[in-house]
Each structure stands twice: as C-alpha cells, then as structure tokens.
Amino acid sequence: MKWFRFVLRVVPFVIGVVVLVLVVFWLSGFFTERVAPAQIDAEPPRFDSAKETMEAVEVVVKPVIEEAVGTVKSRERTTISARVMSTITKIHVRAGDEVKAGDVLVELDKPALERQRSQSMAALQAAEAAFKQAEDDLNRAERLRQQQPGAISEQQFNEFRTRRDQAQANYEKAKQALAEIEVNISYCTIKSPRNGRIVDRLAEEGDTASPGVPLLTLYDPSSLRLEVPVIENLAAQLDIGSKVKVFIDALQREIEGVVDEKVPQADAATRTVLVKVSLPATPGLVEGMFGRLNIEAGQREHLCLNVAAIKRIGQLEFVEVVHKDGTKEQRLVQIGRFGRPGHVEVLSGLKAGERVAIPRKPQTDGTGEATPPQGTAG
C-alpha cells in the first residue's frame, strides 16, 4: 500500500520532466534535419550609369568664424530735462517720433514767470529813475562846487557820489534780475538739441517738472553701433577702422560695420575686451537689438560631400562609395554643419578623392511622362 502511494506521487513528476525535456529538444531543432554550413558568394552591387552619377569627395578650405554677441547702442544718447521748476502744459512728442534740432518738445507753464518779469521790469524802471536822479544831483553838486568853492563841503560831495554809486549798482542789479527772468522764460520752451528719435517719455502733461529730472530720452539713429565683449586673443586681431560682419537676428540680415573703438582695458573676470562697431543706417535697426559679431579666426580644411548622395535609415546616414572596378560599398558617415550650397561637411567615414554614387533625377518630356536618363557616368 505504501509502495503504491509512492508510485502515484513519483510517476507524474517523472512524466512531467520527460515531457519538458522533449519540448526543449524540439524547440532547439533536435528532431529536424540540419543544413550543413557553407560559404555563399554574393555579387556586390555595381554602379549603374543609367540611374546614377558619381562625384568625388573634395577638400575645401574655409575660414574659421568665431561669434561674439553684443547689443546695439547709440553713440549719441540725450536725456531731456527741465532747468526750472514748473508745471508741464504740453508735450509735443511720443516714443518713436523722429525730431530735428530745434523742434519744440515740451512747454512749461509761463504765467508765474511772466508776472515776475512784469515786477522786474517795474523795479528796473524805478532803479533807472533813481540812478538818473542821483547822477543829476551829483552833476549839479559838482557844477556848484566849481562855481562857488566852499558852497558844498567835501563830505556832502562824497555823499552825493555815494548815492549815485548805490543807485547805479541797484540799476545794474535790476537789469541782471530781468535778464535772468527772461532766460527762465526761455527755459519754459524745451527744444531738441539734435536730430534723433524719441525712445522714452517719462512725464505727462500736468506733471511738475523739476530741474535735472528726466522728461524725455532721445538718440541719434545714425550713430548706432554694436557694443560687444570680445575674447582677448580675438580682440587683438581687430584694429580701429577694420571692416567686420555683423548679423542682426531680429532683422535676419548681415551688415558690414567698422570697428570704431576698442576699450583699452580687459575685463579680469571674463577675459574680454569691449569692442564698439559702428553700423550704417539700416531700416528697422533700433537701439537694444541683439547682434552677433563674426570674426575670422583662421582657416580650416574639411571634406565636402554632395547632400544628394546621402541616404538615411532612421538616425543613420550612409553613402555608396564607388570603387575603381565599378563595385559599390555602403559606408556609414557622420556629417557636420558647414559646407557650400548643396554640399555638407563630412566628419568621418570618407576620404578625400573617394567617389560616391548620386541617384539621377527623373527627367520629363514636358507632358509629365518620365523619360529614361541619358549620358554616362562622370
């Protein structure tokens, strides 16, 4: 009875192991006929002149361009402010307006100053009358003294002279006060000191203008230049008056500029020298734009490949290299970002002089029907 129970327990386990082993052998191909290994000679693809052309990989020498980024600024920037304290009655310009030298920009309140001018004119007339009276008294005293010596003592004569001198001083002081008021009145009309463009309006009508507090800011658009920090070794290659290329990203345009100034001091933290490049008048160019200064830093050689020869599978790029016997070989390549139109730089995978296959473009006979290509390989 015990033996029978043991068999019932062991036999299913043994059967399971045998079945598992048989399945493993079947999956590994143990029960199928195997093909003996052998070498199969495959015919390599050949260049077909009817469907493709070939072009040699060339060595191209190009200048190395280093970029330095900076900001467009104006050489001549002016802040407009009042010279007297007064209420703003009128502002004739807004940000973006073009102005010429002598144009009226801001008008300040004049009545208070005009009242002061009236009072000063009255004071001047009174001072003038007093001066004339004192001068006449002195002249009469002098004539009397000549006609009747001893009629006027020396002390009295000196008193007449002193009154005349005081009256003259008061008269000159009144004239100076009136002149100052006239100048202050002229300051109530603020004019543009030069041609330029308004870039900032810092006050509004009704505000009180104080001396030295900015009201407007303007700059001369014809004096724009790119101010850019340049690495020391590259800045040494730039001379005053040198022509350079500047690319303005916002305009997508390259502009030829002239090195106008180099600050004769390097920044110790960044090891750069501030270079200022004057720019010609350019439509759309305004202060504050971002610009790139392109500096030639030498020359470099690279291989140049026709982009039509490149084939792509996923992220891999390869070409078909044509050997002298006409056979083709697929070659994995790595390309760069430089090159001339229709060509690109090759970083690895090819050598100078190797020829690559380029598929011919199908030609049409004018009706839209494709015609077979003609000609032979180059």
pLDDT for 2 equals: 64
Fold exhibited by the domain 52-62+302-371: 2.40.420
- 127 by Cβ neighbours in 10 Å (0-12 / 13-18 / 19+) ranks as buried
- Hey, what CATH class is 66-75+220-298 in? mainly beta
Distance CA 155, CA 309 (A): 118
Predicted local confidence at residue 378, as pLDDT: 31
Distance separating alpha carbons of residues 203 and 212, to the nearest angstrom: 13
How far is Cα 285 from Cα 254, in angstroms, rounded to an integer? 12
Residue whose pair of structure tokens reads 């077979």 in the numeric block: 372
Looking at residue 373, its pLDDT comes to: 44
> In a structure prediction context, what are the per-residue pLDDT tens digits for the chain, which is 378 residues long?
666 676 667 777 778 888 888 888 777 777 777 767 766 666 778 888 888 898 998 888 887 788 999 999 988 888 899 988 888 999 999 988 889 988 999 999 888 777 888 888 888 889 888 888 888 888 888 887 777 777 777 788 788 888 888 988 988 898 888 888 888 888 888 999 888 889 889 999 989 899 989 999 998 888 899 999 999 988 988 999 999 999 999 999 999 999 999 998 998 899 999 999 999 988 889 888 999 999 988 788 888 888 899 999 888 999 999 998 888 889 999 988 777 788 888 888 988 889 999 998 765 544 544 444 443 333
Domain residue limits, the chain: 52-62+302-371, 66-75+220-298, 83-201
Query: Is 66-75+220-298 the same fold as 52-62+302-371?
Result: no
- Sign of torsion, CA 82 87 91 96? positive
The type of residue at 327 is T
